[in-house]
Amino acid sequence: MGWLTNLHNRTSIFTKVLVANAVIVVVGTVTTVTVATHVWHDRAAEPIVAVLFILAGLAISMGVNYGILRLAFRPMFALQVTLDRVRRGDFSARAPEVAGDPDIARVIEIANLMLDRLAEHRQAVASQVIRAMEEERKRIARELHDETSQSLTTMMVNLDVIEKQLPDPSDELAGRVRLTKEIAQRTLDETRRLMFDLRPSVLDDLGLVPALRWFVNQRVVPRGLQVEFQASGVDQRLPEELETALFRIIQEAVTNTVKHAKAKRVSITLQREPGEIRAVVQDDGHGFHPVHVVSKDDKDRGLGLFGMQERAALVGGTVRIDSGPGRGTTVSVSVPDRGRGRVAGG
Ligand SMILES: Nc1ncnc2c1ncn2[C@@H]1O[C@H](COP(=O)(O)OP(=O)(O)OP(=O)(O)O)[C@@H](O)[C@H]1O
Ligand SMILES: [Mg+2]
């Protein structure tokens, strides 16, 4: 009996119904032909003709049966394709609605509702994670500023005083003091770099455009890339969550260009239009297949592209990635403009 259970478990419902119908058709046809042969025994045809007759009847019935079942099961196949797209990372996929079969329509409706709930849950978790991450970064940057860099600065001032009071500037003790000052200065520079990467204070103090200029000059130009940066209509401050989202998305897109694209130039444009703010980061690098990246397993996938989409969604916006081998990459962001904000620099 084990093989029967095994066969039952491995056979799809479509095949089961197909086989069951085929059995009915075969039994029905054979019975009908047998009865007909006995009733009109005298006028019975040649056996070969009877067999051909049976086979033709069977082929036609099974073909019709197969066609009807394929049609009836089409919504289930569509559902399967949809769920497979979701499994591969396309969380916007939904199964098409069907008319005519209330049971299947209900299954599809429930599956689509489940996918909606899953998307909402995913979005809520992502937004919590992004907010918590941003808060934590701010906290650590503040700590580094208020504690570590203040202490290092005080240390440098004290070393300066000691150095000036040393009797012989060329002896070993003076050399050690100078070396200690150099180390303190390097550590201070490194701490400032870390503070900027965590949360650029210029973003909080002066706004998006100065922060982007700072980022480009400090992190991109020194890597030998030719950068073109244009901003229009963004003189006023934007709401904080918009500034953070746009800064992080552009930062990630440009960092990807620096890290992966082998590009010669990158252009960044930021534009405020009626009702929306648009940003485009375009490079002339070797490009990539966005679909291949999205369909990779979670463990092999970077967080950057995913994070961009989530950050944009958090402020009601979208990100479009247009790329392909040999034709560079264009990342376009569009977020709804939530009215005029604070004054830049204020
Ligand atoms: N501008 C680009 N040019 C060429 N390839 C790119 C570009 N942007 C992204 N990619 C490709 O897409 C992949 C995924 O990018 P993503 O930003 O998600 O991850 P990552 O940069 O590898 O890691 P992380 O951003 O988490 O540090 C990259 O590994 C790279 O192969
Ligand atoms: Mg990245």
By most ligand atoms within 8 Å of CB, the mutation choice from 268, 288, 310 for ligand 1 is 288
* Ligand 1 atom closest to Cα of residue 307: 18
Pairwise CA distance, residues 178 & 162, whole Å: 10
By most ligand atoms within 8 Å of CB, the mutation choice from 130, 256, 268, 294 for ligand 1 is 256
**Which residue's C-alpha comes closest to atom 20 of ligand 1?**
302
* Ligand 1 atom closest to Cα of residue 329: 1
pLDDT number for residue 244: 92
pLDDT number for residue 52: 80
Q: Which CATH number fits domain 201-346: 3.40.630.10, 3.40.50.2300, 3.30.565.10, 1.10.10.10?
A: 3.30.565.10
> How does pLDDT run across 319-341, given as a tens digit for each residue?
999 999 999 999 999 999 876 55
By most ligand atoms within 8 Å of CB, the mutation choice from 260, 281, 299, 321 for ligand 1 is 260
Q: Which ligand is nearest to the CA of 331?
A: 1
pLDDT number for residue 43: 56
pLDDT number for residue 346: 40
Written as six digits, the tokens of 158 are 């004290």
Written as six digits, the tokens of 70 are 């394929």
Q: Which ligand is nearest to the CA of 260?
A: 1
Nearest to 142 by CA among 190, 87, 204, 94: 204
Ranges of each domain in the chain:
2-72, 201-346
pLDDT number for residue 345: 46
Listed in sequence order, the residues at least 6 apart from 254 whose beta carbon sits closer than 8 Å to its beta carbon are 215, 216, 219, 220, 266, 268, 281
Q: Round the CA-based radius of gyration of the chain to a whole number and report it.
A: 35
Nearest to 104 by CA among 134, 68, 77: 77
Pairwise CA distance, residues 109 & 295, whole Å: 26
* Ligand 1 atom closest to Cα of residue 285: 3
> What is the reported pTM?
0.70
CA of 167 to the centre of ligand 2 (A): 54
3-state secondary structure 68-92: HHHHHCHHHHHHHHHHHHHHCCCCC
Query: In this structure, how many other beta carbons lie within 10 angstroms of the beta carbon of residue 16?
Result: 12
> How does pLDDT run across 295-319, given as a tens digit for each residue?
666 666 678 898 898 899 888 899 9
What stretches in the chain show pLDDT beneath 50? 343-346
Q: What is the DSSP letter of 217?
A: I
